[in-house]
Amino acid sequence: MNARDFSAPVPPGGYRWWYVDATSDDGRYGLTVIAFIGSVFSPYYALARRRRPGAADPHAHCAVNVALYGDKRRWAMTERGASALQRDARNLRIGPSRLHWDGDALTIELDEIGAPLPLRVRGSVRLHAPTFAQDAFALDADRRHLWLPIAPCARVEVRLSEPALQWHGDAYADSNAGSRALEQDFTRWHWSRSSLRGGDTAVLYDVQRRDGTPHSLALHFDADGGCRHFAAPAERTLPGTRWGIARATRSEADTSPQVRTLEDTPFYARSLLDTRLLGEPVHGVHESLDLERFSSGWVQMLLPFRMPRRSAWAT
């Protein structure tokens, strides 16, 4: 599967997302953009899957999620129907926002409005990578869920008009694809990507499958395109969030990882992480996901306040 191909089919009940995160060189700002076909965290898609098991249309549940961190904080994720989706191999448009490959650069043109505060995010994000990863990694034994690194070692240029903001920084891009809902096959996971010397990147994936078996990945991506597994160090517990989400990472002996929370929700947390891997201190982005919490009725009732849905005909 070509992770840079926006035209790949998404099966009924399944999903595909493309993820980019970046931090500014001066440490003041962070950005995450996720484009979803079959939005895995959508309460509307979850309801559709319950009503039509195995037959819910992922194209009817698309969204571009953008989160901006720093003194000009923004968060937006508006779900749209199939009529708002247009795509081919190099272009993906969801409503007014668009991702497209221009040569070997990924340009993201954003035009989103937040909720519950209607603050706009408008402008462009341009990602450059010296090389692109090629392999896909299964997160479950039946290969229903795949993680596809795209550009683990990248640079980004952010130019926003709303809010007025320009910066450069290190970046990372990947994609995930699956044929079933995440909560069907997993209970939780922890993920991180950390910058290493020389422009390399370390990625850690720890998932707890619903059958009770754990699965871990520890990968070292070279800036020149190489990828190799390394022995994952011991797991370290991180402080829980205000919503009670358990967090953990891996770090080398005699290290106390430090975490700074960026996003704190009832089922998901995104943080900045300082720890030690492969013999050096590293800084990166960390995420923890609790799919048991996501599936709970009270969380499903809260989600529409942060994830509004436009009507099927609206773009």
Give the integer Cα–Cα distance in Å for 119 and 292. 31
Residue 205's pLDDT is 97
Residue 266's pLDDT is 96
| pLDDT above 80: residue 312 | no
What are the tokens at 234? 């011991």
| pLDDT above 60: residue 116 | yes
Looking at residues 86-97, what average pLDDT do you find? 97
Looking at residues 118-123, what average pLDDT do you find? 97
Specify the pTM.
0.96
Residue 3's pLDDT is 80
Residue 96's pLDDT is 97
Q: Are strands 97-102 and 91-94 parallel, antiparallel or unpaired?
A: antiparallel
DSSP the chain: --TT-TT----TT-EEEEEEEEEETTSS-EEEEEEEES-TT-HHHHHHHHHSTTT--GGGSEEEEEEEESTT-EEEEEEE-GGGEEE-SSEEEETTEEEEEETTEEEEEEEEE-SSS--EEEEEEEEE-SS-----EESSTTS-EEEEEEEEEEEEEEEEEETTEEEEEEEEEEEEEESS-HHHHEEEEEEEEEE-GGG-EEEEEEEEETTS-EEEEEEEE-TTS-EEE-----EEEEPPPTT---EEEE--TT---EEEEEEE-SSEEEEEEEEEETTEEEEEEEEEEEHHHHHSHHHHHHGGGTS-B--TT--
Nearest to 58 by CA among 33, 73, 40: 40
| pLDDT above 50: residue 313 | no
Q: Per residue in 224-250, pLDDT tens?
A: 889 999 999 999 999 999 999 999 999
| pLDDT above 50: residue 119 | yes
Give residue 188's pLDDT band: very low, low, confident or very high (50, 70, 90). very high
Residue 26's pLDDT is 94
Q: Which domains does the chain have, with CATH numbers?
A: 1-180 (2.40.370.10), 184-306 (2.40.128)
Looking at residues 203-231, what average pLDDT do you find? 95
Residue 315's pLDDT is 42
Q: Per residue in 23-33, pLDDT tens?
A: 999 999 999 99
Looking at residues 64-71, what average pLDDT do you find? 97
Distance between first and last Cα of the chain: 29
| pLDDT above 90: residue 254 | no
Are the CB atoms for 62 and 36 separated by under 8 Å?
Answer: yes
When the pLDDT of each residue in the chain is averaged and rounded to a whole number, the result is 94
Residue 311's pLDDT is 65
Looking at residues 70-87, what average pLDDT do you find? 96
